């Protein structure tokens, strides 16, 4: 948004702002800050000049100057050298986490593969959501299926991708992880087998185990740095035929951790094989928007009606929205809804209204996000080649991470040592079952180049320490990788 706020409009928005409890400049700054935070003053809007506002409020110019200085210091007003400052929100270079997720100051978090919010877009969506809210306030606020506007927007997005979908085929969830838990508890009983790619997303493995199910791992073909080897269709089909898993959980769109993408041909074969084996195919499309190489693929659901698709705004827009969804046939959605009611009674309404606006103009933040990620990917691959030349790195087609093969099985030992050098890592075995992937490490390229470089140098230093004292590899590899939170 580009514009300016005239003094009369700002005075109206401020209302009776001056209680006299604090110095006037502080109260003025506090109220302007609140107005920016709740969206009543949009972002990137020029505030009135100091002189004009002082006149309109009948204050000394010094008071307004001090209030604007406080806003600048807090990050709510641009520096505005020689011109009028514009509203903004504070830019933080390090993620601010809730207690429990907080990592010590100065430690780079390489265990999370997630981006900060597409700030202005998300902020504006929340501000606009407040204008949509009054229409829903007369209702009870419990909605186990999800706010209609959001379900419609998600259904339209699938239609636009060539998958006819109605809003009745969408269940809104609190993120993809929540969606997977609902699906597991509906479709898989205790002791049932769930086919997974090996490696796969660690929190999915945890959810499968927590539901009392047994992961049936199917290895992905080995790393090559030139071409992406994709999926082993024969192995998948054999596992389905022989083990008859109740469900298969797959990440065909920029797979976590390898960043691979499944071809349309493989999708078609897989959907047919799953239907023949009586296995419900559950595809996690959380990373589908992070299509760095602009690969054209059709959503898995376009190859057969039985596919259950899970989506999320966490990687395309912001994980803090905690908004995801399930797309499936209507009768299955009804079953998911009754299972969901055991866990929670619906998602928060304002988040869903904001999400509806984001989904309606889904691509808005993507250009900028993707070009930064492309640069980061190249930069990280260059750093790995330069500082860790004995590691083999698979070039990801999309997503947020590079899956690396180490020269020795030392992933757990590195993960234990790395925090001493300033980096938190997720060890390879977190991505597999039965202690596999001790010779692998997932490295994210979500951070800006300077931070990537510092982190890779830190890993190099940890690797040097390990090389100098090889017994550490054995002593530190307990068989149980450190239980760090991963995303
Ligand atoms: C494949 C995959 N699924 C699900 C999630 C979690 O998604 P959400 O934040 O929507 O629960 C992630 C996050 O890293 C992911 O990579």
Tens of pLDDT along 390-426?
999 999 999 999 999 999 999 989 998 999 899 999 9
- Could you tell me if residue 325 is inside a domain? yes
- Could you tell me if residue 483 is inside a domain? no
Residues 209 and 331 in one domain: yes
Cα 375-380-384 angle, rounded to 5 deg? 155
Ligand 1 centroid to 301 CA: how many Å? 19
Instruction: List the residue whose alpha carbon is closest to atom 7 of ligand 1.
Output: 176
Q: Is the CB of 316 under 6 A from ligand 1?
A: no
Domain boundary among 302, 330, 360: 360
Q: Is the CB of 326 under 6 A from ligand 1?
A: no
Residues 279 and 384 in one domain: no
Q: What is the pLDDT of residue 19?
A: 79
Residues 391 and 289 in one domain: no
Residues 331 and 374 in one domain: no
User: Residue 78 pLDDT more than 70?
Assistant: yes
- What CATH number does the domain containing 7 carry? 1.10.10
Q: Taking residues 159-174, what's their average pLDDT?
A: 98
Instruction: List the residue whose alpha carbon is closest to atom 13 of ligand 1.
Output: 487
Pocket test for ligand 1, best of 109, 253, 255, 314 (most atoms within 8 A of CB): 314
pTM equals 0.81
Q: What is the pLDDT of residues 93-115, one digit of tens each?
A: 444 333 344 455 678 999 999 99
Atom of ligand 1 at shortest range from CA of 112: 14
Q: Is the CB of 174 under 6 A from ligand 1?
A: no
- CA–CA dist 327, 172 (Å, integer): 9
Give residue 170's region: left, alpha or beta (phi > 0; psi -120 to 50). Answer: beta
Tell me the β-bridge partners of 403: 442
Q: What is the pLDDT of residue 95?
A: 41
Q: Is the CB of 314 under 6 A from ligand 1?
A: yes
Residues 201 and 243 in one domain: yes
Domains in the chain, number: 3
Residues 260 and 377 in one domain: no
- Could you tell me if residue 213 is inside a domain? yes
- CA–CA dist 477, 409 (Å, integer): 9
Residues 148 and 8 in one domain: no
Weakest-pLDDT range from 45-54, 97-106, 135-144, 476-485: 97-106
Q: What is the pLDDT of residues 335-394, one digit of tens each?
A: 999 999 999 999 999 999 999 999 999 999 999 999 999 999 999 999 999 999 999 999
Q: What is the pLDDT of residue 35?
A: 76
Domain boundary among 336, 360, 384: 360
| DSSP reduced 3-state for 419 | helix
Ligand 1 centroid to 420 CA: how many Å? 28
Residues 332 and 392 in one domain: no
Give me the chain's average pLDDT, please.
90
Q: What is the pLDDT of residue 97?
A: 38
| DSSP reduced 3-state for 381 | helix
- What CATH number does the domain containing 197 carry? 3.40.640.10
Q: Is the CB of 324 under 6 A from ligand 1?
A: yes
- CA–CA dist 247, 352 (Å, integer): 29
Ligand 1 centroid to 114 CA: how many Å? 9
Residues 378 and 423 in one domain: yes
Pocket test for ligand 1, best of 176, 324, 446 (most atoms within 8 A of CB): 176
Q: Is the CB of 175 under 6 A from ligand 1?
A: yes
- Could you tell me if residue 95 is inside a domain? no
Residues 8 and 143 in one domain: no
Residues 405 and 340 in one domain: no
- Could you tell me if residue 99 is inside a domain? no
Atom of ligand 1 at shortest range from CA of 201: 1
Instruction: List the residue whose alpha carbon is closest to atom 4 of ligand 1.
Output: 176
- Could you tell me if residue 104 is inside a domain? no
- CA–CA dist 184, 203 (Å, integer): 13
Number of other residues whose CB lies within 10 A of the CB of residue 363: 10
Q: What is the pLDDT of residue 38?
A: 61
- Written as six digits, the tokens of 86 are 């514009």
Domain boundary among 304, 330, 360: 360
Q: What is the pLDDT of residues 291-326, one digit of tens each?
A: 999 999 999 999 999 999 999 999 999 999 999 999
- What CATH number does the domain containing 407 carry? 3.90.1150.10
Pocket test for ligand 1, best of 95, 177, 184, 300 (most atoms within 8 A of CB): 177
Residue 284's domain comprises 121-360
Ligand 1 centroid to 153 CA: how many Å? 20
User: Residue 439 pLDDT more than 60?
Assistant: yes
User: Residue 236 pLDDT more than 90?
Assistant: yes
Residues 190 and 281 in one domain: yes
- Could you tell me if residue 90 is inside a domain? no
- Could you tell me if residue 442 is inside a domain? yes
- Written as six digits, the tokens of 288 are 């589908």
Percent of all residues in the chain with a pLDDT value above 90, rounded to a whole number: 75
Q: What is the pLDDT of residue 360?
A: 97
Q: Is the CB of 432 under 6 A from ligand 1?
A: no
Nearest to residue 27, comparing CAs of 36, 18, 15? Answer: 18
Pocket test for ligand 1, best of 254, 315, 319, 320 (most atoms within 8 A of CB): 315
Q: Is the CB of 180 under 6 A from ligand 1?
A: no
């Amino acid at each position: 948004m580009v514009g300016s706020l005239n003094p009369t409009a700002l005075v109206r928005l401020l209302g009776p702002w001056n209680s006299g409890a604090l110095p006037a400049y502080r109260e003025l700054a506090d109220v302007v800050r609140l107005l920016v935070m709740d969206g009543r003053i949009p972002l990137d809007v020029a505030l009135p000049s100091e002189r004009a506002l002082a006149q309109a409020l009948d204050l000394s110019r010094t008071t307004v100057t001090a209030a604007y200085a406080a806003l600048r210091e807090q990050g709510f007003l641009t520096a505005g050298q020689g011109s009028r400052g514009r509203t903004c929100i504070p830019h933080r270079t390090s993620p601010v986490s809730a207690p429990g997720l907080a990592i010590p100051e100065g430690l780079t978090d390489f265990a999370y593969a997630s981006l900060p919010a597409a700030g202005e877009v998300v902020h504006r969506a929340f501000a606009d959501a407040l204008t949509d809210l009054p229409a829903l306030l007369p209702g009870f606020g419990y909605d186990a299926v999800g706010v209609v506007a959001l379900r419609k927007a998600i259904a339209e997005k699938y239609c636009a991708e060539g998958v006819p979908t109605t809003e009745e085929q969408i269940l809104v969830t609190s993120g993809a992880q929540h969606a997977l838990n609902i699906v597991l508890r509906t479709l898989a009983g205790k002791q049932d087998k769930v086919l997974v790619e090996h490696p796969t997303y660690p929190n999915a493995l945890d959810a499968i185990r927590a539901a009392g199910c047994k992961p049936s791992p199917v290895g992905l073909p080995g790393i090559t740095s030139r071409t992406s080897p994709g999926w082993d269709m024969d192995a998948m089909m054999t596992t389905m035929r022989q083990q008859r898993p109740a469900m298969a959980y797959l990440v065909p769109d920029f797979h976590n951790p390898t960043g691979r993408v499944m071809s349309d041909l493989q999708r078609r074969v897989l959907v047919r094989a799953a239907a023949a084996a009586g296995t419900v195919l559950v595809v996690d499309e959380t990373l589908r928007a992070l299509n760095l190489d602009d690969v054209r693929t059709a959503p898995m659901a376009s190859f057969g009606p039985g596919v259950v698709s899970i989506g999320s705004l966490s990687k395309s827009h912001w994980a803090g929205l905690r908004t995801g969804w399930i797309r499936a046939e209507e009768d299955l959605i009804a079953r998911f809804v009754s299972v969901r009611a055991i866990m929670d009674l619906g998602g928060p309404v304002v988040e869903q209204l904001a999400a509806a606006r984001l989904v309606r103009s889904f691509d808005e933040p993507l250009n900028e996000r993707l070009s930064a990620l492309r640069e980061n990917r190249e930069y990280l691959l260059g750093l790995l080649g330069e500082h860790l030349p004995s590691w083999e790195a698979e070039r990801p087609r999309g997503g947020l991470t590079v899956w690396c093969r180490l020269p020795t099985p030392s992933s757990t030992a590195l993960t234990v040592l790395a925090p001493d050098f300033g980096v938190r890592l997720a060890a390879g075995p977190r991505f597999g079952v039965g202690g596999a992937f001790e010779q692998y490490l997932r490295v994210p390229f979500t951070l800006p180049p300077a931070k990537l470089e510092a982190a890779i140098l830190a890993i190099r230093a940890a690797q040097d320490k390990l090389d100098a004292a090889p017994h550490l590899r054995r002593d530190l590899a307990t068989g149980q990788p450190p239980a760090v939170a991963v995303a």
